[in-house]
A and B are shown apart, each in its own frame.
Chain A
Amino acid sequence: MKILVPIKRVVDYNVKVRPKADESGVDLNNVKMAINPFCEIAVEEAVRLKEAGSATEIIAVTVGAENTQEQLRTALALGADRAILVETDLEVEPLGISKVLKAIVEKESPNLIIMGKQAIDGDNNQTGQMLAALMNYPQATFASELKIEGENAVVTREVDGGLQTISINLPAVVTSDLRLNEPRYASLPNIMKAKQKPLEVIKSDDLGVDLNPRISTLKVSPPPEREAGIIVESVDQLVEKLKNEAKVIS
């Protein structure tokens, strides 16, 4: 079984970003970049399936500028076998990304696509579902458990009310939630080995996919600030404040 793992380069999850002073976008100067945490979980799941003998090859793919090769190398260090960069300097929306991924899926014919449920920058939560739609594949989003059973994947999903388990025909798209697994750290020898693994670069123009944006960002502003609160001295004072000042309990 061949697994495709689309990944994304994003701001490191510990960074608190701010809008640019002119509100034209997000200030990403000199901030640490990393593989999106949900994508890392997706890579780990693919690697575990390979270690368990269910998968034979893992291909990591991303769409972006040249520097996204760093995150593909991270995926290779974690255990992907080879990587594909679809290079573009455009900021591509989830719909465009899913069209690029469709072209890659048609080229590589994976049996399973595992990817993060959302990227922590745009918080869109769209690409996996869109790819599944374009391929007419089933989807299992927000996965916390994934089992391959013959021609099916049995997936437990984290839903608002608890957990839901579904069975989907392969090929399919699975998107990872936080508790699908705990990703390993790449070891130094594996980081070194990753440098030798194949990384193919395809120009996005060569795929003939429409990447024109449909949504324009007019401005990016800071969220409304909360007024500074106070530190209360005791439970008595807290209860008094909640009753008489905030009037939220009676």
Chain B
Amino acid sequence: MTALVIAEHDNKELKVSTQNTISAASKLDNDIHVLVAGSECNAVAEEAATCEGVTKVLYVDSKEYENFLAENVANLIKNVSNDYSSILAPATTNGKNYMPRVAALLDVAQISDISSVESEDTFQRPIYAGNCIATVQSSDAKKVITVRTTAFDAAAKGSNSAEILKLEEVNDAGISEFIREELAKSDRPELTAAEVVISGGRGMQNGDNFTLLEGIADKLGAAIGASRAAVDSGFVPNDYQVGQTGKIVAPNLYIAVGISGAIQHLAGMKDSKVIVAINKDEDAPIFQVADYGLVADLFTALPEMESKI
């Protein structure tokens, strides 16, 4: 049988999360198709066809898929789902939005946020903010799965040239409408794909002080993140949030600054390879997961660190 991976993209470029998902799918099936649905996204389909392990790209180009409205995308996926034994999407905000809708349309129980594939019907997934790992077995004939992207290496790109099959699928459900988008523009790497992440918490005191992180981020080529406390306090926008319900990151180096380390924050970063914590409170729980802890006032430590790296 064949696995279907739903591509994550912005109509211009394929997102790395798609490659992570292809890699997860390769542990289930040797035959992997990728669905690229969007508007004027021909380049994305071509990019997907070069990913290692992909045998075919289904390419659907129509205005109603431009903004990935769940109602339209879920109907499309349902319509093309017949020949597949599994359907996988990255557990991004897009994947989390449309995939359960697909699962319900197919009368299948979704397996969310898998962190490993144990066999064709058995998976591991974190529960309770990652404090437990559940091994679960699905009895549904068709598996609907979202993938924790940090748990799977990205499938290589550029080496393959899979067939691209253009489909004419019109699925405007007509019950939802895109109005606008306010997307953060940044020259820094994406939070979920960065090799180095430096995050600030409540200890940063205000949004202006995040410039202290920027100097270090520039030197290390790092993405900037934040704890929920910093986002709730309005220091930085919501897309910075790392945690159980925010973004899950697992960079080579994670630097937590002025973050106490609530369970919910740890859930989003504790799979990082090396964790550094800088906090003036020596009892902060963040030190329990840190490889290197520095008990210091961040307002003196950060400028010093910036000058020394």
Binding site for B on A (CB under 8 A): 11, 13-14, 16-19, 26, 38, 93-95, 98, 117-118, 120-134, 136-142, 144, 154, 157-169, 172, 177-179, 213-223, 226-227, 229-232, 234-236, 238-239, 241-242, 246, 248-249
CB contact list, B122-156 vs A, under 8 A: 122, 126-140
Tell me how many residue pairs across A and B have CB atoms closer than 8 Å.
Answer: 260
* Nearest A-chain residue to B277, judged by Cβ: A229
Q: Mark B174-201, 1 if CB is under 8 A from A, else 0.
A: 0111111111100000001000100000
Given A140-B176, A162-B239, A242-B309, 6 more A-B residue pairs with CB atoms under 8 Å apart are: A123-B127, A125-B96, A129-B97, A220-B135, A231-B282, A231-B293
For residue B50, CB closer than 8 A to chain A, the reply is no
Given contacts A162-B184, A235-B301, contact A217 B132 (CB under 8 A): no
Given contacts A159-B94, A161-B184, contact A216 B228 (CB under 8 A): no
Secondary structure at the A interface, as helix, strand, loop or mixed, is mixed
For residue B296, CB closer than 8 A to chain A, the reply is yes
Give the residue of B178, B245, B253, B304 whose beta carbon is less than 8 angstroms from that of A178: B245
Can you list 8 contacts pairing A with B, beta carbon distance less than 8 Å?
Answer: A124-B112, A162-B183, A162-B239, A164-B178, A168-B177, A217-B134, A222-B132, A223-B270
For residue B289, CB closer than 8 A to chain A, the reply is yes
B36 nearest CB across to chain A (Å)? 18
Residues of A within 8 A of B132 (CB): 17-19, 26, 220-223
B113 nearest CB across to chain A (Å)? 7
Binding site for A on B (CB under 8 A): 10, 67, 69-71, 74, 92-94, 96-105, 107-113, 122, 126-140, 173, 175-184, 192, 196, 220, 228, 231-232, 237-239, 244-245, 247, 252-253, 263-264, 270, 273-276, 282, 287, 289-296, 301, 304-305, 308-309
Question: B175 and A238: CB pair below 8 A?
Answer: no
Given contacts A137-B175, A168-B176, contact A221 B135 (CB under 8 A): yes
Question: A138 and B179: CB pair below 8 A?
Answer: no
* A163, A215, A217 interface centre (most CB from chain B within 10 Å): A215
A241 to B157, CA, bound (A): 34
A140 to B176, CA, bound (A): 9
A218 to B10, CA, bound (A): 38
Give the residue of A139, A167, A246 whose beta carbon is less than 8 angstroms from that of B291: A246
Residues of A within 8 A of B179 (CB): 154, 165-167
Residues of B within 8 A of A13 (CB): 263-264
Residues of B within 8 A of A167 (CB): 176-177, 179
Question: B292 and A121: CB pair below 8 A?
Answer: no
Give the residue of A118, A161, A229 whose beta carbon is less than 8 angstroms from that of B293: A229
Question: B177 and A94: CB pair below 8 A?
Answer: no
Question: A26 and B108: CB pair below 8 A?
Answer: no
Question: B309 and A249: CB pair below 8 A?
Answer: yes
Question: A166 and B176: CB pair below 8 A?
Answer: yes
Question: B136 and A216: CB pair below 8 A?
Answer: yes
A224 to B16, CA, bound (A): 25
Give the residue of A11, A98, A121, A223 whose beta carbon is less than 8 angstroms from that of B104: A98
Question: A120 and B309: CB pair below 8 A?
Answer: no
B106 nearest CB across to chain A (Å)? 9
* Nearest A-chain residue to B195, judged by Cβ: A248
Given contacts A141-B96, A236-B308, contact A164 B104 (CB under 8 A): no
A172 to B71, CA, bound (A): 11
Question: A158 and B238: CB pair below 8 A?
Answer: yes
Nearest first, the 8 A-B pairs at minimum CB distance are A129-B100, A133-B104, A214-B109, A130-B104, A126-B100, A229-B291, A138-B176, A161-B183
Question: B137 and A123: CB pair below 8 A?
Answer: no
Question: B293 and A219: CB pair below 8 A?
Answer: no
Given contacts A123-B126, A241-B292, contact A142 B100 (CB under 8 A): no
A45 to B245, CA, bound (A): 19
Given contacts A231-B293, A232-B292, contact A11 B97 (CB under 8 A): no
Residues of A within 8 A of B301 (CB): 235
* A26, A169, A229, A246 interface centre (most CB from chain B within 10 Å): A229
Question: A160 and B93: CB pair below 8 A?
Answer: yes
A204 nearest CB across to chain B (Å)? 17
Question: B94 and A238: CB pair below 8 A?
Answer: no
A165 to B177, CA, bound (A): 9
Question: A179 and B231: CB pair below 8 A?
Answer: yes
Given contacts A162-B184, A177-B245, A231-B287, contact A214 B138 (CB under 8 A): yes
* Nearest A-chain residue to B237, judged by Cβ: A162
